[in-house]
Structure 1
Amino acid sequence: MATLTHTGPTPAAPKAAPKPIFGEPRDAGRQSLVYLFLLVPMAALAAAVPFAWNTGLLSWTDVALTVGFYLLTLHGITVGYHRLFTHGSFKPNRPVKIALAILGSMAVQGPIITWVADHRRHHAFSDKEGDPHSPWLFGTSAWALTKGFWHAHMGWMFEPRNTTNEERFAPDLVKDRDIVLIDKLFWLWTIITFLAPAILGGLITMSWAGALTAFFWASLVRVSALHHATWSTNSICHMIGERPFKSRDRAANFWPLALLSGGESWHNSHHADQSCARHGVKRGQIDTSARVIWLLERAGWVTNVKWPKAERWAKLAAD
């Protein structure tokens, strides 16, 4: 009896189901740490002006340490967490990669893999269902936008179920041994970012008072000020501002935040061309993060920088 032979095309293997968007909910312990590291520095920020006014305890040492640590950790977030690890705007050598990952961790905005996964999810679902922090998820009435602003600015972090599947959104970082180790040591970078200013303040002034005021200003106030500068990109820059370029969401350029955010508030420009290393693409737009990348490139420490091209931005210009 003849054997029947299949001569048609081989059926395609079934596609694997996509990994879920959400990760495991934060347990009570991890959620408590979220409250601790967001609210305690915020309380210091709220008390900063009356504290300085009533006590006079703000020295030039405190100012220098606060500004210095702000700039270091700001660019750890903007150059490292955001433009490098989230969007691949350039290729660093290994020491620069490690340094940027640590400095970003010292901004106390979460472990690096978690932060990158959240931000990639934001871009994948920007201002739509699935976006972890869009201000437009509740409607367009006055109350809905008030609720949306709170959610986008910081409320989303207080929702223990609003976590992101890191295997789906950051598989490259999950496989990077350097990044995995830095991610696991987030607790250490958090301790360093709070204690280093106090130690330096004490050594510079040779006093416990100098250590205490440096801890207040350059640790607590600095961390919270940077938190709000970063969160404002999620909230304010998706609600008001100019939209000179085409993007599929409501991201806007809001110039008053440009200096405090290291150039991140040119948010419409960023959403129009996400991997571009410079967000302030027009003349006169302040973007200190792009300048840091430029300096690293000049030093030969980073390569393959994705600088803006005039012809591409001409095509992206809004009608």
Structure 2
Amino acid sequence: MTATAMPARDRASTSEAPSRGRAKPVLDGRRPPFEAALVYAFTIIPMLALVAAVPWAWGWGLSWLDVGLAAGFYLVSALGVTVGFHRYFTHRAFKANRGLRNALAIAGSLSLQGDVITWVADHRRHHAFADKEGDPHSPWLYGTGPVALAKGFFHAHLGWLFDRDRTNAARFAPDLLSDRDLARISRAFPLLTVASLLTPALLGGLITMSWWGALTALFWAGLVRVAVLHHVTWSINSICHMLGERPFEARSKATNFWPLAVVSMGESWHNLHHADPTCARHGAEPGQLDPSARVIRVFEKLGWAHEVRWPTTARMARLHEAARTTG
């Protein structure tokens, strides 16, 4: 645990960007019907493909090409979300040059989880109101009884996506709105969605020189890959606020849930993240795998990322001491 010391938790920089004068409202109207319909489509269609994956594999098989393409596109889009949308754009855990910044915004958009500005605004709002009224996807908003928790789990995992209310980006992500590159990439989200699904199909078709190769690549490396990543990401909102360990003191009920560590690229070490949101490494304890932090380290060594907020021994000791004092 070396390199740049991690500053004390700064709610203004990690949760909600400060605004001048009168505070802007949390919400910014409601999604228009067409946008709401797209949310349903981007959520439900990949999910149906995931349901169909087992009978498809049983009936027609699964080629190594499909596996390779799915794994490759999963890594790119997942790291775009974890390293890009989350640790960089939302929490500024490091600084990046223009090329890396734009590449991360594009890669995260390939996950079909919304454009970069909307994603960041929602997540900063989540930290500003973590597990309280105003949090867009807390599982604890309905109570603690069995029925309330079941309802809360569904809301945190999936249901919140269908809420028509829109987070006010001018309040929570003014820095991204003022970035012309990011504004263009955000507006290009529909095109990037098409590219995320059709690029695997194009590669599969060209490599096999067949329409069947294109179709299976579209299914596995397009739709199924998106659905798996969706549910892994949504599990951080649901499972990692309900089940697991809480070794550090945080303003939320965020937990560590180790079974998701690898597929979530280290995001499931969620308790430390809520205890210190600007930290570039979430799995900072011995034995905690954090692939996203490894990728950030590579970017740092290449000179593409700098001023990385790595955890230090002293900082971790203070977090442990805070946990012992409050526990």
TM-score (norm 1): 0.94
Residue 316 of structure 1 deviates from its aligned partner by 1.2
Greater relative contact order (Cα < 8 A, sep 6+): 2
SS, match of residue 23 in structure 1: strand
User: Any stretches of 5+ residues in structure 1 without a counterpart?
Assistant: 1-14
SS, match of residue 27 in structure 2: coil
Equivalent pairs counted in the alignment come to: 303
**Matching residue's letter, 2:30:** P
Structure 1 moving runs of 4+ over 4 Å: none
Matched with 1:193 is 196
Matched with 2:58 is 53
Once the two structures are superposed, the pairs formed by residues 74-85 of structure 1 within 5 Å of their partners are 74-85=78-89
Matched with 2:90 is 86
Matched with 1:5 is none
Once the two structures are superposed, what CA deviation does each residue of 1:121-163 show, in whole Å capped at 9, x if it has no partner? 00000000000000000000000000000000010011112x2
Residue 267 of structure 2 corresponds to residue 264 of structure 1: yes
- In structure 1, what is the Cα distance between the partners aligned to 2:75 and 2:304? 20
Equivalent in 11, 30, 49 of residue 25 of structure 1: 30
Once the two structures are superposed, what CA deviation does each residue of 1:163-193 show, in whole Å capped at 9, x if it has no partner? 2100000010010111101001101110100
Residue 117 of structure 2 corresponds to residue 113 of structure 1: yes
**Matching residue's letter, 2:82:** T
User: Any stretches of 5+ residues in structure 2 without a counterpart?
Assistant: 1-19
Once the two structures are superposed, what CA deviation does each residue of 1:24-79 show, in whole Å capped at 9, x if it has no partner? 201111100000011000000111112101222x1000000000000000000000
- In structure 1, what is the Cα distance between the partners aligned to 2:172 and 2:88? 15
Matched with 1:209 is 212
- In structure 1, what is the Cα distance between the partners aligned to 2:128 and 2:309? 20
- In structure 1, what is the Cα distance between the partners aligned to 2:286 and 2:72? 27
Once the two structures are superposed, the pairs formed by residues 102-181 of structure 1 within 5 Å of their partners are 102-161=106-165, 163-181=166-184
Residue 299 of structure 1 deviates from its aligned partner by 0.6
Residue 39 of structure 2 corresponds to residue 42 of structure 1: no
Matched with 2:73 is 69
- In structure 1, what is the Cα distance between the partners aligned to 2:111 and 2:29? 24
- In structure 1, what is the Cα distance between the partners aligned to 2:152 and 2:172? 24
Residue 310 of structure 1 deviates from its aligned partner by 1.4
Q: Which has the larger radius of gyration?
A: 1
Aligned sequence identity (%): 61
- Aligned CA RMSD, in angstroms, stands at 0.8
